[in-house]
Structure 1
């Protein structure tokens, strides 16, 4: 059973939080009753959700290693979520000696736990920011924008509705980055979603962030101005797999990596 955590005064525990629900799927303890209840409603409709969350983390690790092999030494993880198994900075420490990671989130629980985890670290840190405000986010991150950056947008852009134009936010981030920078992205797609899975997605619309389902063309548009590397925009397990792909899981997420030339 997940242990109950003290409730900081600045945290809303009356409304489900997407980051804390994701933590619950991954077996974490940084969540509250309202998050667990919402997550269980999602699981009732879409029982594969925890496996898909693990696939997303595995893709992230493979992509970070790929970038490290190509000389990328700075990583900006936007919408990073709560610290979990094999965090980006741990992968970077193994794959990119001297690398640096800046995690960005707008959730006080994420920031509190992340900063506690990284207390004293010189190669990683958490800053407050929102993907919808790229200029503020980049100023807070303090990266050397004259050098390549790995821009990590994992399962975050579907939390930004069309009317807030997430494509414009990605363009602004892209334009600020040096050549040799890479975009690493994953996004839920509307393909193959059953009626029950769509009901699970509806739970998120009552949580701290909405969820916008997009088709392949809309997701691929995020890579405008980047050269998409092989194998292209594909389901999570199909991006340069290092182990056998489970055929029993639905392909609800698309992912890809693009290079700024």
Structure 2
């Protein structure tokens, strides 16, 4: 990104933002009416979508805690990180390892403003305003490669991001570029909207409805993909048990207290290791 014209120079509050719609789904206040309207259109067919956002956040917390504490990794690159909320990546990682370093990347100008506040409060946390769909550009950015040591293991996080990249944007190719840059022992943590097209006809229909609302009537992005297509995003990495599963099935903290809503089934997550 140009230093003279960063993405924040083109703040457009007439169009919904992925990060701000996600913030609205979590009950946040850093969003505009246009974002709330886009989210409302999704709620008309997925009234429990806020539970999906909360589920995604719980998954992130469990994954980061495991990777920082049990796997012993002390570097995290959180792509498309969105707006800061409760239990952010750096807070979870640094609770287990106070020396853990975290770089957040997001293109949204509001995220950038909050990110600058993170810089002031935590010397081991950085925020870079940039486009995660341009891996070569980000990996060459000294604000990232001068802060994280890519000769050592890094956790690359794509939580709820790649389903906003259209097929023609080649999400699998984007991930190949990132994975090639990672040192052995690095991990990829990823969640993605799931269309169980070959596994459950009713949930497949629900996924189609939600995709239509987001892509045609709301954000203009948000694609629910098959399990096979999501698995391709990990390339040749080794998926850790239990594999690519519904988010609350990935090492839950306890037994389920209720049956999942249909919307909650329609997201998969996994963590993979680079040998």
TM superposition score normalised by structure 1 = 0.92
Distance 1:9 1:149, change over 3 A: closer
Q: Which residue of 1 aligns with 2:273?
A: 259
Point out the more displaced range, 15-24 or 120-129. 120-129
Distance 1:244 1:146, change over 3 A: same
Take 1:60 and 1:217, find their aligned partners in 2: how far apart are those partners? 22
Q: How many residues align?
A: 254
8 A contact 2:165–2:221 mirrored in 1: yes
Mapped pair 1:203 → 2:217: no
Mapped pair 1:224 → 2:235: yes
8 A contact 1:158–1:212 mirrored in 2: yes
Take 2:187 and 2:220, find their aligned partners in 1: how far apart are those partners? 26
Deviation at 1:196, TM superposition (A): 5.6
Point out the more displaced range, 171-180 or 196-205. 196-205
TM superposition score normalised by structure 2 = 0.87
Mapped pair 1:178 → 2:183: yes
Deviation at 1:184, TM superposition (A): 0.2
Mapped pair 1:36 → 2:36: yes
8 A contact 2:208–2:224 mirrored in 1: no
Take 1:239 and 1:54, find their aligned partners in 2: how far apart are those partners? 15
8 A contact 1:56–1:236 mirrored in 2: yes
Q: Which residue of 2 aligns with 1:115?
A: 116
For residues 106-131 of structure 1, what are the alpha-carbon distances to aligned partners after superposition, in whole Å with 9 as ceiling and x for unaligned? Answer: 11111112212442421111102222
Q: Which residue of 1 aligns with 2:59?
A: 59
Take 1:15 and 1:175, find their aligned partners in 2: how far apart are those partners? 35
Runs (4+) of structure 1 exceeding 4 A deviation are: 194-197, 206-209
Q: Unaligned 5+ residue runs, structure 1? A: 1-7
Describe the SS at the equivalent of 1:187: strand
